[in-house]
Amino acid sequence: MLDLYGGNVPSTMEEMLKLPGVGRKTANCVLGAAFDVPGVVVDTHVKRLSMRLELTENKDPDKIEKDIEKLLPEERWRRFSDILIYHGRAICQSRKPAHEKCDVFHLCPSNLI
């Protein structure tokens, strides 16, 4: 694999996905950080919050990525992913969301139940 790109990190999604163990999440993360290429990073937090916020009905990360891409201009994809990741880690955790600390709980579908 080292010979494939001359020891350099590939700069496109297509090239990144050829690397062993690299999926869309990792590729979007690396491409965004290293090359400023827009992309939606769908990790466990983005997946969970996208479903809780009813931004998607899909469970497949690749489909969630596409659903989020339709909602935002591409220059916001990476930052939106980061916001959901940080919010999911700190506030909207899987088992016990801290609704009392959530600044957007009044907008959340789980508040409307």
CATH of the domain at 45: 1.10.1670.10
pTM of the model: 0.90
pLDDT along the chain (113 residues), means of 10: 79 94 96 96 97 96 98 96 97 94 90 68
Q: How far apart are CA 40 and CA 74, in angstroms?
A: 9
Contact of 39 with 47, CB cutoff 8 Å: no
Same domain? For 89 and 104 the reply is: yes
Same domain? For 51 and 106 the reply is: yes
Whole-number average pLDDT of the chain:
93
For residue range 34-44, list pLDDT tens digits in order.
999 999 999 99
Domain containing 96 equals 39-111
Same domain? For 22 and 2 the reply is: yes
